């Protein structure tokens, strides 16, 4: 399945363009979350990064 919808990081608008936002020229990314897998072999790394980010925000 191919995700066609993109979201601008700068203005938050949605577009079908794959390179830049047609409104503001900002960078676009795919707004859909990753698929869930019970056999996620990178879960511990993502959780560690999330904890680090929360600790830095608390400081």
Global confidence as pTM: 0.55
pLDDT tens, residue by residue, 11-31: 999 999 889 999 999 999 999
Burial 11-47 (b: 16+ CB within 10 A, else e): eeeebeeeeebeeeeeebeeeeeeeeeeeeeeeeeee
In a domain, 13, yes or no: yes
Query: What domain count does the chain have?
Result: 1
pLDDT at 1: 56
Going by pLDDT thresholds of 50, 70 and 90, the confidence category of residue 32 is confident
In a domain, 5, yes or no: yes
In a domain, 11, yes or no: yes
In a domain, 53, yes or no: no
Range of the domain at 20: 1-32
In a domain, 41, yes or no: no
């Amino acid at each position: 399945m191919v995700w066609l919808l993109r979201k601008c990081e700068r203005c938050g608008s949605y577009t079908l363009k794959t390179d830049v936002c047609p409104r503001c020229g900002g960078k676009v990314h795919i707004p859909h979350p990753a698929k869930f897998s019970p056999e996620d072999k990178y879960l511990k790394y993502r959780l560690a990064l999330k904890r680090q980010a929360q600790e830095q925000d608390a400081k």
